[in-house]
Structure 1
Amino acid sequence: MSQYPNPSLIEEVKKILADEMEDDTEDQIMMLLEQWQMHHTTSSSNMHPRSRRYYDRERGVGHVRLFNDYFADNPVYPSHIFRQQFRMRRELFLRIVKSITNHSEFFRMRIDAAGKKGLSPLQKITSAIRLLAYGAPADQLDEYIRMGETTTIECLSQFCRCVIDIYGAQYLRRPNANDVEHLLNLHSERHGFLGMLGSIDCMHWQWRNCPMAWKGQFARGDQGSPTIMLEAVASADLWIWHAFFGVVGSNNDINVLNQSPLFNDVLQGYAPDVQFMVNGTQFSKGYYLADDIYPEWATFVKSFSSPRDPKRIKFKQMQETARKDVERAFGVLQSRWAIVRGPARFWHRAKLKDIMYTCIILHNMIVKDEGDAIRNWDADDDDPTIPVTQGLAENFQYYLQRNAELCDREVHHQLRSDLVEHIWERFGGNNNEN
């Protein structure tokens, strides 16, 4: 019941006050005021105190059920079901749980003010993995994991930050010298392209809850709704070596490239040395396979639009086949982590960025755990610290020189011509590409 007076009583008081013809006006006013006071007292006594409602979810029951289903010595669900539900092997998941629990106090089991045990690390991290894997609403996990909606969202945010802090340096790193050597050998054996470092492309992630004031800059005609773009470089083993996320969806691949840090190490002179020879010509920079929208730079190899020569037709077939590595990586990423396949339901770009990078890190971890990805990584092989200089003309001249070499169109055409001859010499007119 409302704590305010009945509107009909107020209207009646106003009517009586306006009526000056009756002699018993004062008595009627006093009677109506007494009625209002009784009504107000009754309403106040029936009101419930405004406090947060508590639901006894029996969190311990949820932990026991989760443990018996997947982590006991004889679990209900075997290993292949675990991998299907968690997108990774049990051993990898437990390593992640251990690392995150040691890193963050949030994921440890704590005792609340009432003396009850809180949620276990398995419950918290499982809820985050399930949100990433299925892209489901947060309240869907309440019945099984016994966790509320707001707590589930908080677990997801904390999980993403922990994964980036712990594993970002290793699984979002740029290729070091050992990685470059592996990538050159891998792509030469698998695709026949000497000097190839990977394939580059962009992906759109639909943003359902984009603020109205931003929709104009995040929407593009061919997408139909606001999106955020991801630029990525992937190798033949589906490892994502470069990820640049957060550019507004109204851009195209060239605009994203102009903002991307992909070639920062090359321009600053800290990229690993790449030397290879194709068709008798020596080259000093690795390259990426790209589609037609990318510029004609020395570090990009594009296909031909409408070739008629048999050699160029064969090269177009091989280049487009090898360039599908990045498309396959996008497909596996979206299939494994459905949250980046469906529309994003969060409001803040920073949270979307954390989710995207977390999915890429977990993707690379699974590739390393199950595939033939890079294994020779060491924390000491990180990129060297770039010294800070104050306007040295000599360094700036070297920067301009490296930028000119990077964007050299003559080298681009020379490299593509030599690759056409190399592909034809190796594969010829055979349909077998191995």
Structure 2
Amino acid sequence: MDDTEYFTSDSSEDELIIAENLLVHTHFILTSSCATRNGGSRSKKKPNINRVAEEGAQRLYEDYFSGASIYTDAQFRRRFRMSRKLFLKIANDVKNSNQYFIRKPNAAGQLGLNYLQKCTAAVRQLAYGIPADALDEYTRMAESTARKCLKEFCKTVETPYEKEFLRHPNEADIQRLLKENEQRGFPALRKNARSSAMQDVERAFGVLMARFAIVKNPARLWNKDDLRSIMRTCIILHNMIIEDERDNVVTFDYMFAYENATTNVPMCSKLDFSAFLTRYKQVHDTAMHYQLRNDLIEHLWNMRGEEE
């Protein structure tokens, strides 16, 4: 008997179907495995939200940066703490210095956030001290993205500007400040130099806190380098604003805002801070959470289970 008689046309078709099914099944297993490793098909992962970044960019542009913007220059300055011209200068410098602020397409080919959206998110957090999640509806970005914008913005602003705007005052600066103080009624010489210097520092820091509420409010970040970068950035921006507005009349009184909207943060000892960390760990302890939940269920069942 010829061996080819065992391989009829029907058996060949069955073998092809079986082989195709095996290939499809193998492909499904490999795809699922890769997706699980990359976090794409985890059951607990929340689906991505389409925030329509393009619409957010267009709205921001029409509100503040178009030729016929909706909001006035005074409103822009109050909300961004600086003039539109200065903000655009800083934003362009940041974009040219850091690739993170250049608009790029995502994996789906859709354009992401532009540099104005990212810089606006960073400046709003500095100015108002608001949490990153509060920017979602307007700037169209997630909480983690807004937080990253703040960190990248501060890190980028330090590099090109610190040499000029974090330097020690020179002779010309000192003479100009003394002249301005005399015009405001402060004598050139004071009896108690140490006391006056302390008052000057407190006054300057008060203006800084009034301009950037993130300095006044409790810190939202834990990393010391991030906090240092934020503080240095606020000082740099403050000095840039002073330089930009030196010859202009400013109507917004930051000292009035500071005196009428202060937040008193009590100083705590190391012992208090250790107790805070202990409470923080307890609140975020998963095992304790489930134990308390089960205890509550058992308590409610013992109290009202018989009633039903």
Settle same-fold status: TM greater than 0.5.
yes
Shift of 1:330: 1.6
State which of 27, 35, 49 in structure 1 corresponds to 2:41: 49
Q: Report whether the alignment pairs 1:71 with 2:65.
A: yes
SS at match of 2:218: coil
Match of 2:194 in 1: 302
CA distance in 1, matches of 2:209, 2:232: 13
Q: Which amino acid aligns with 1:96?
A: I
The structure richer in helix per residue is: 2
SS at match of 2:50: coil
CA distance in 1, matches of 2:67, 2:134: 28
Q: Which amino acid aligns with 1:49?
A: S
SS at match of 1:335: helix
Match of 1:156 in 2: 150
CA distance in 2, matches of 1:139, 1:120: 18
State which of 185, 188, 196 in structure 2 corresponds to 1:193: 188
Q: Report whether the alignment pairs 1:125 with 2:17.
A: no
Q: Report whether the alignment pairs 1:58 with 2:52.
A: yes
CA distance in 2, matches of 1:169, 1:350: 19
So what's the TM-score if we normalise by structure 2? 0.62
Match of 1:370 in 2: 245
Match of 2:202 in 1: 327
Match of 1:114 in 2: 108
Higher relative contact order structure (alpha carbons within 8 Å, sequence separation ≥ 6): 1
Aligned ranges for residues 376-391 of structure 1 at < 5 Å? none
Deviations 1:154-186 (A, max 9, x none): 000000011111111111001234334434544
CA distance in 2, matches of 1:189, 1:142: 46
Deviations 1:228-278 (A, max 9, x none): xxxxxxxxxxxxxxxxxxxxxxxxxxxxxxxxxxxxxxxxxxxxxxxxxxx
Match of 2:17 in 1: none
Q: Which amino acid aligns with 1:363?
A: H
Match of 1:276 in 2: none
State which of 223, 232, 236 in structure 2 corresponds to 1:348: 223
CA distance in 2, matches of 1:361, 1:60: 31
The structure richer in strand per residue is: 1
Tell me the C-alpha RMSD between the 2 structures: 2.6
Bigger Rg, which one: 1
Shift of 1:130: 0.6
CA distance in 2, matches of 1:364, 1:328: 15
CA distance in 2, matches of 1:123, 1:105: 15
SS at match of 1:65: helix
SS at match of 2:234: helix
Q: Which amino acid aligns with 1:358?
A: T
Shift of 1:331: 1.7
SS at match of 2:233: helix
CA distance in 1, matches of 2:93, 2:41: 43
CA distance in 2, matches of 1:323, 1:348: 29
SS at match of 1:106: helix
Shift of 1:335: 1.2
State which of 234, 237, 244 in structure 2 corresponds to 1:359: 234
Match of 1:315 in 2: none
Q: Report whether the alignment pairs 1:336 with 2:206.
A: no
CA distance in 2, matches of 1:53, 1:157: 25
Identity of aligned residues (%): 47
Unaligned runs of 5+ in 1: 1-47, 197-288, 291-300, 304-318, 374-434
**Number of aligned positions between the proteins:** 208
Shift of 1:54: 1.4
Q: Which amino acid aligns with 2:133?
A: D
SS at match of 1:302: helix
Q: Which amino acid aligns with 1:302?
A: R
